Structure 1
């Protein structure tokens, strides 16, 4: 299980700071810091830093193997983020779907794509023991 006294940190590239801030704030992430070359967000309790590096943007992103996101332990929180993404008209890379239907690891998931083609996955497992 997660220790509550630790914060996970992830650094990713971005191509434009303003559009990056707009996307992540629409997603509900709080801007923590902004510098000339990066922005830092509170990403659902963890830290995501978007470094300005337009030359390292993946022009053809794929869901697997490179993405990041949140595994929700409460279905209501998953639904809330999904509904917010829809209402904010955030770009979906993959609409809501079911993976591993009928198996213990069955879960619902969707993917968003940020302005720098970073893929974000949001999912909820029906069996909470499958979250790890």
Structure 2
């Protein structure tokens, strides 16, 4: 089981550090932890995302499944606030907000953003928090 003091770590490729910084820090509001010539490290909603400069590692045809990452919010207000922020700051959507599994216990709200290096980010809110895992 995860200790709440520990931080999940994810490394992803990026094609340009300045574009990546603009997307994650300026538009999404993530905190920049460190920046080097070949990568930036971010506080991504409480976890660590490292964007490594690797233009050859960029997926030119991204698909939602199976490769994406993101956050499942416990509070609907947090989900709603991020949707609003994304629209206000013209963050590019890969999939507009929608409801999945309507009428089932695992029904949830979701949307996908796409970063400048074609990494897909999913954000969700489950009506029944028991379905988060």
* TM-score of Structure 1 vs Structure 2, range by shorter chain: over 0.9
Structure 2 length normalisation: TM-score? 0.97
Deviation readout 1:5-45 (Å, 9 max, x if unpaired): 11000000000000000000110101110000000000000
- Distance apart, 1:3 and its partner CA: 2.5
Q: For 1:10-29, what aligned pairs fall within 5 Å after superposition?
A: 10-25=10-25, 26-29=27-30
Q: Which residue of 2 aligns with 1:102?
A: 103
C-alpha distance in 2 between matches for 1:56 and 1:120:
17
Q: For 1:113-128, what aligned pairs fall within 5 Å after superposition?
A: 113-128=114-129
C-alpha distance in 1 between matches for 2:84 and 2:50:
25
C-alpha distance in 1 between matches for 2:23 and 2:84:
15
- Distance apart, 1:2 and its partner CA: 4.7
4+ long deviations beyond 4 Å? none
Matched position secondary structure for 1:6: coil
Q: For 1:65-80, what aligned pairs fall within 5 Å after superposition?
A: 65-80=66-81
C-alpha distance in 1 between matches for 2:30 and 2:88:
15
- Distance apart, 1:4 and its partner CA: 1.1
Deviation readout 1:97-123 (Å, 9 max, x if unpaired): 110000000000000000000000000
Give the CA RMSD over aligned residues. Answer: 0.8
Residues 81, 2 of structure 1: alpha-carbon distance in 2 compared, 3 angstrom cutoff: farther
C-alpha distance in 2 between matches for 1:127 and 1:119:
24
